[in-house]
Structure 1
Amino acid sequence: MIRRQPRRIQSGLGHPARLVVLGFGAAVLIGTVLLMLPVATETGDSTGFVAALFTATSAVCVTGLVVVDTATHWSTFGELVVLGLIQVGGLGIMTLASLLGLLVARRMGLRMQLTAQAETKALGLGEVRGVVLRVVAVSVAVELVTAIVLTARFASGYDMPWGRAVYEGVFHAISAFNNAGFALYATSLTPYAVDPWITVPIMLALITGGLGFPVLFEIGRRLRGRLRRWTLHARITLATYAALTVLGIVVITAIEWSNPDTLGPMGLGDKLLVGAFHGVSPRTAGFNTLDVAQLSPAALLVTDFLMFIGGGSAGTAGGIKVTTFALLAFVIVAEIRGEPSVHVMGRRLSAEVQRQALTVALLGVGAVAAATLGLLLITGLPLDAVLFESVSAFGTVGLSTGITAAIQPSGQLLLVGLMFLGRLGPITLAAALALRERARRYELPEERPIVG
């Protein structure tokens, strides 16, 4: 008789979801300690625990919300720590751990493979090695190209010394691809709002990172002629991402077109460029070329909507993801039509996928609602500003109306938890907190309560 071995990988700290959470938590802790060192600040004074923790969490979770000005508060050492945390958080803790295992041991154990699979959303264990290496290769390639363009522009267009131009080009390229939103200017990228040689490469980098690595890999295979048919995931992601991007650009530009504090005083070309940037940036990028506090309430609400949805799965973007949003839309359409199952682009959606999409969306709504209520009670600030801050933190976006530094430490800690949840995803965090996985051995009698 063959006795089945217990699945140790699914219990205790060995559960992949728990290891992902612990990995990100460890990175935040290490970053906090480094940022509290006196050498990390321009003045040589130690940064307080809450400010260091907030900055480290924002960097690891590739958010971009800050309670201290990145350019003036942190020294070069501190900025490099922030940059390193952004890269670590963007690539994924377990992706980097798996890469290290490949380089050092030339092999990966089952536990490391399962953990990397949970982080990179690989389809099978046999693909993990290739996925990890391709993730790193794509990241470095996009960041390098973006950094070269930005460096050349900083040096030639703004008479910036080459050393400084390289530093700023690399910093903003890494921040853009990882959708982090950290900038070396107190007003983000507003000094370059109407310079397409700065804003366009950054937009392209953040879109590339926001699509998600599975879609990028599929595009690569398609271009090389190795793929004849798009997967359902890629088709849904590309179509929904493109539609929401166009919608964001058109709506925000139209709303702010005559606003004297934003697009109003600009010429036609500048309005279109800046409007396009602010239609793309809420997809979890976090950079801004306009004063967000001066946006009209309607534009803020549209931005809330875009930030909450976010970008593609298994990439550097946050939010509930465009696939989740699209799947829920397909479920609603099927229910309205009275169809017994959900069909999308020639495929049928499983009940499991539908439950996952619903769970992610509702947990996201609940987290944002709870955080907004908490911040309202703590700060007493206006609802639109507090809601914007909460959605930005959950979506790991980093846009703000300028209230982050004014929020009390208890409110900042609340945002820390929200950023952590947003980066890991509600399901990953819930699975990590669950005591164990259980198989249902029986089903209860069915009954239909009244809905609606």
Structure 2
Amino acid sequence: MHLTPSRLIAVGFLLVILAGAGLLMLPIASRGEPAGFLDALFTSTSATCVTGLVVRDTFTSWTVFGQLVILTLIQLGGLGFMTFITLTSMLLGKRLGLYDRKVLMQSAGNITLDGTAALIRKIIPFTFVFEFAGAALLSIRFIPEFGVLRGIYAAVFHAISAFCNAGFDLMGMRAPFSSLTAYVSDPLVSLTICMLIIIGGLGFLVWRDLVRCRFRWKRLQLHSKLVLTASGILLFGGGLLFLGFEWNASMADLSIPEKLLASFFQAVTPRTAGFNTVDLSKLSDSGNLLTDFLMLIGGSPGSTAGGIKTTTLAVLVLSALASARGRMRVNTFRMSIERETLRQASSILLIYLGMSLTAILAICAIEPFGLKAVTFEVVSAIATVGLSLGLTPQLSAASRVILILLMYAGRIGGLSFVLLFSERRSEPPLDRPTGKILIG
């Protein structure tokens, strides 16, 4: 059977998840009792879908072998397994056909078929350069704390996890499920992690465009301008809001410089990274809701991040403003946005909201936990973020399965996930009579 590009990517991710679960079930992967199928499947899904939600602490529950399996799944999931397969084929001299290019275009987040192979060739070197630089900076802090070998290992693990927006950490060596809370006042660790998250979350297409245009704003493509504008507003606007909301809440015990650093970190990490430097259980209601909002938006298309994406939000906001002004076309940066793009943006938002609401209702019916905590966990899963209020390890098997499906759907994309179960049929060349309805 000839699979569509969307289905081929979905099947590929599923096979990687199952293979990872099989490896994590091996006795050599766990400290103590071997992991059961559901725990292994949940961890493998979270790693492959670069989410970061865990039912077991990564350091205390998994051996070095298990941690390396998780790290490999993070790298495969972050870059897309098709990237590795294609690069291998290129090295072996295999030519890419039209179907291969369509799959790669969707997997790599390219806009057109042209330049897809060249983009793939640049993705892996680009990734390794930034991961190496991040690991080198983190080693400055981790080697004195944990020793040479363990410090280098921790630096490499966290650099890959941060760049791929995964959120897995090894800070169980300090305290289980503590994430990076010990480094809330450490600019080196906090800013290095932030920069890796931002670079990975902008998308390879944006970075290629920036390099090609030598960072000249006027020469950038519309996609890059929207991504950079939306990302800047969300990062700095989110940071200021967190500073105001959490000043006397989760950041009450911090000094002013520490509050500024923690606020910026807290604005960056919901962009599907999953690390935290403050105790999330102490977030104010406003901070909690803001985190939900930022998690749902996520990063940018063609990146290691999840969520509905920054461009989807930008298109919806621009469309609403144009409609409010009575304009038929949506224009920005002296260019017009296609109507098909507007339709897709609306569909993506409704699909994510629909799946989130369904999951929240189901888990609230199953579990004794409150709406606030369940909503946080569900949004974190579908947006492949990994932030948690500590609820995940306490969930029943049925709720964990729901989160697994949400993580999987979020990684391959909500629209693609729905299309997997629908058969595309060509519409008959017939124009139906137009009917009028009232809205608003």
TM-score (norm 1): 0.94
More moved, 275-284 vs 404-413: 275-284
Matches within 5 A, 1:172-191: 172-185=158-171, 186=176, 187-191=178-182
Equivalent pairs, count: 435
Deviation (angstroms), 1:405: 0.4
**Residue identity in the other structure for 2:232:** A
Structure 2: distance between partners of 1:248 and 1:26: 37
Residues 6-61 of structure 1: CA deviation (Å, up to 9, x unaligned): xxxxxx54211110000100110000100011100112x32011111100000000
Maintained 8 Å contact 1:98/1:113? no
Residues 267-308 of structure 1: CA deviation (Å, up to 9, x unaligned): 111111112111111111100011111111111001000000
Deviation (angstroms), 1:248: 1.2
Structure 2: distance between partners of 1:314 and 1:431: 19
Aligned to 1:6: none
Deviation (angstroms), 1:429: 1.8
Deviation (angstroms), 1:228: 5.7
Structure 1 residue 232 corresponds to structure 2 residue 222 = yes
Aligned to 2:147: 161
Structure 1 residue 75 corresponds to structure 2 residue 63 = yes
Matches within 5 A, 1:35-184: 35-43=24-32, 45-156=33-144, 158=145, 160-184=146-170
State the SS of the aligned residue for 2:152. Answer: helix
Matches within 5 A, 1:399-418: 399-418=387-406
Maintained 8 Å contact 2:109/2:303? no
Structure 1 residue 16 corresponds to structure 2 residue 5 = yes
Structure 2: distance between partners of 1:270 and 1:41: 37
Pairing partner for 1:303 from 291, 294, 313:
291
Residues 349-402 of structure 1: CA deviation (Å, up to 9, x unaligned): 211011000000110110111111111011121000000001100110000100
Aligned to 2:212: 221
State the SS of the aligned residue for 1:105. Answer: coil
Maintained 8 Å contact 1:18/1:433? no
Structure 1: distance between partners of 2:69 and 2:42: 14
Deviation (angstroms), 1:245: 0.8
The percent identity for this pair of structures is 39
Maintained 8 Å contact 1:379/1:407? yes
Matches within 5 A, 1:267-282: 267-282=255-270
**Residue identity in the other structure for 1:42:** R
Pairing partner for 2:17 from 19, 28, 44:
28
Alignment RMSD (CA, Å): 1.4
Structure 2: distance between partners of 1:96 and 1:107: 15
Pairing partner for 2:426 from 438, 445, 450:
438
State the SS of the aligned residue for 2:293. Answer: helix
Structure 1: distance between partners of 2:379 and 2:99: 34
Pairing partner for 2:188 from 187, 194, 197:
197
Deviation (angstroms), 1:437: 4.2
Deviation (angstroms), 1:408: 0.4
Aligned to 1:5: none
Deviation (angstroms), 1:316: 0.6
Maintained 8 Å contact 1:90/1:178? yes
Maintained 8 Å contact 1:14/1:111? no
**Residue identity in the other structure for 2:83:** T
Deviation (angstroms), 1:194: 1.0
Residues 287-338 of structure 1: CA deviation (Å, up to 9, x unaligned): 0011111111111001000000111111011110010001001111111111
Residues 381-428 of structure 1: CA deviation (Å, up to 9, x unaligned): 100000000110011000010010001010000000001111111122
Structure 2: distance between partners of 1:114 and 1:345: 28
Aligned to 2:408: 420
Which 5+ residue runs of structure 2 have no aligned equivalent?
Answer: none
State the SS of the aligned residue for 1:223. Answer: coil
**Residue identity in the other structure for 1:359:** S
Aligned to 1:4: none
Maintained 8 Å contact 1:41/1:47? yes
Structure 2: distance between partners of 1:89 and 1:294: 31
Deviation (angstroms), 1:431: 2.7
Q: Cα gap change, 1:279/1:124 in structure 2, threshold over 3 Å: closer, same or farther?
A: closer
**Residue identity in the other structure for 1:164:** R
Which 5+ residue runs of structure 1 have no aligned equivalent?
Answer: 1-11
**Residue identity in the other structure for 2:195:** L
